Amino acid sequence: MHHVFRAEDVRTVLADSGLFSSDRTRLMPPTAQLGRGNLTMMDPPDHTRIRRIVNQAFTPASVRGLAPAIDEIADELVGSLVPDRFDLVRDLAYPLPIRVISRYLGLPEDRIDRFRTWSIGFSRGDAAQMDEMHRYLAEVAGAKRARPDGDLMSRLATAEVDGVPATIDEIASLAGLILLAGHVTTTSLIAAAVHELCVQPALDVQVREHDRVEELVLEALRVRPAFAQVTRMAEADTILSGTTVPAGALVAAWILSANHDPGLNPDPEPFLLDRPARRHLSLGHGVHYCLGGPLAQIEAVAAVRAVIRRFARLTVIAPVEFHPLPTLAIRRLELEGRADA
């Protein structure tokens, strides 16, 4: 595997889907149905067709329409936190996005524990769990195609490209990816933003007094991207910053490193609300550019606002470590904190 760290090279890798393929199934054959139809592992033209289906369904207006529900869920979860000591990830940063994405898709919220188990199975490549999730989502997609009711699943099930809808298997794979990508990453962002308030009291004051929650979330997205790296496969010999990457090599494009490259952001290390041009690759680049960034930001802003409305001061009381999950290179934070009302 070749590791690419400079922002310019990371951008080059992500921008050229012909030279740097996302189709890693040749090296790591997918063991279950969900893995086979995974949008993030497709190249154009297959990727283009499925992305056009999802783009029709996952619209900016539908995301904006979720804002009141997001505020309501955030307030309810923050209202249930025990003031003296709580686990921010377990009690807020995890349940908020999984409830929001379930509601958006039109899936029953009382099955969230099941979705959680399936998502963990998905990230570990557990074929039995992935198949079970796929069967369930295919059943829902079939029902929504027969009787669409306006939710995201219904829109995915009825969208067409050149007059042809996606297959039920394709919709189930897409929904599974959205369910997974739609919550674990946002959990990281919420935790990273709140963590920064805990460890930087001056920043906490600035955010509260001048309502800088949006900048806090954007800087957390830059400094602590949920995907530390994404992987591609070189289709031909290529030279990157003077090093030859041979055809067939796996390439790890390090988003985390690129975001901290002084070529991208002068003075990249400090966590600053007032960055003049806040450049980052946290949501990817090129044809696979993340479709959920605005949704994640709305959720993180709602979560932080709810927390600071309820608690005047936040302290971290357990050791905190940002670390990657096995397999997915997703960085997450386990955080247990204390808040003083």
Chain residues in the site for ligand HEM (CB under 6 A) = 14, 22, 39-40, 51, 101, 177-178, 181-182, 185-186, 189, 221, 225-227, 230, 282-284, 288, 290-293, 295-296
**Which one, 144 or 288, has the nearer CB to ligand HEM?**
288
Assign residue 42 a region (left: φ > 0; alpha: ψ between -120 and 50; beta: otherwise): beta
Q: What's the closest the beta carbon of residue 178 comes to ligand HEM, in angstroms?
A: 5
Which residues fall within 8 angstroms of residue 157, CB to CB, at 6 or more apart?
141, 142, 144, 145, 148, 165, 166, 168, 171
Whether the Cβ atoms of residue 57 and residue 171 lie closer than 8 Å to each other? no
Q: How far is the CB of 86 from ligand HEM (least distance, A)?
A: 22
Closest CA to 40 of 116, 144, 123: 123
Q: Which residue is nearest to ligand HEM (CB)?
A: 292
Least distance to ligand HEM, CB of residue 225, Å? 5
Distance of CA 111 to CAs 98, 116, 220, 268, Å?
11, 9, 30, 42
Nearer to ligand HEM, 288 or 305 (CB): 288
Minimum CB distance to ligand HEM, residue 145 (Å): 20
Q: Which are the contacts of 191, defined by CB distance < 8 A and separation ≥ 6?
A: 88, 89, 93, 332, 333, 335
Question: Is residue 140 a contact partner of residue 152, using CB atoms and an 8 Å limit?
Answer: no
Angle value at C-alpha 146, between 143 and 148, nearest 5 degrees: 85
> Using omega within 30 degrees of 0 as the cis cutoff, is the peptide bond preceding 45 cis?
yes
Q: How far apart are CA 106 and CA 136, in angstroms?
A: 13
CB nearer to ligand HEM: give 290 or 320.
290
| Residue closer to ligand HEM (CB basis): 275 or 280 | 280
Minimum distance from residue 191 beta carbon to ligand HEM (Å): 11
Count the Cβ atoms, other than its own, within 10 Å of residue 179: 23
Residues 6+ apart with CB under 8 A from 259: 7, 222, 223, 225, 265, 268, 279, 280, 281, 282
Minimum distance between the CB of residue 85 and ligand HEM, rounded to whole angstroms? 27
Residue 168 CB, nearest distance to ligand HEM (Å)? Answer: 18
Residue closer to ligand HEM (CB basis): 71 or 338: 71
Which residue lies nearer to ligand HEM by CB, 275 or 339? 275
Toward ligand HEM, which CB reaches closer, 231 or 238?
A: 231
Q: Which of 250, 260, 191 is nearest to 222 (CA)?
A: 260
Concatenate the DSSP letters of all residues of 205-223 into one string.
Answer: HHHHHTT-HHHHHHHHHHH
In the complex, minimum distance from the CB of residue 274 to ligand HEM, in angstroms, rounded to a whole number: 21
Residue among 249 and 338 whose Cβ is closer to ligand HEM: 249
Closest CA to 64 of 302, 250, 289: 302
Least gap, CB of 252 to ligand HEM (angstroms): 11
Nearer to ligand HEM, 255 or 339 (CB): 255
Strand-pair category, 313-316 with 336-340: antiparallel
